[in-house]
Amino acid sequence: MLELQNQQGKNVNLCLLLLYLDSLNLVVNSQQLGVLTQIVNELDNNVMQQLRAARSYLKVHQQAITDYANIRKELLSAELKLEKQQQQMLINAVNECELVGCTEPNNIELYLKASF
């Protein structure tokens, strides 16, 4: 999942939700996937990417940061809280969708092929 995030710009929380829906034999359509993608992209583009970049920068320059360990811990804590928030936003959105049952759903493949 992290490889998909780092190399293809895919969202781990959305991937996990889609895999969960697959396990329930529920399928999202392209429009619903677009809404879910928009939800994760907004938080990712406006907050998460900058937070991850800050952690990365600090890691490289940790020798010059006097309280690096505590700062890293706090940034990671903030990132995890935002991840939980994003998960809740996805759950709220998918609960508003009318999902269709399907014997062989492949929501994750739809997402990986999508170019939203």
Share the mean pLDDT of the chain: 92
Kindly tell me if the per-residue pLDDT of 54 is higher than 90.
yes
* Average pLDDT value for residue range 80-90: 96
Beta bridge partners of 101: 26
Domain holding 30, by residue range, is 1-113
How many independent structural domains does the chain possess?
1
Q: Which helix (H) or strand (E) holds 27?
A: strand 26-27
Kindly tell me if the per-residue pLDDT of 60 is higher than 90.
yes
Q: How confident is the model at residue 10 (pLDDT cuts 50, 70, 90)?
A: confident
Question: Please, where are the H alpha helices in 45-95?
Answer: 49-60, 68-95
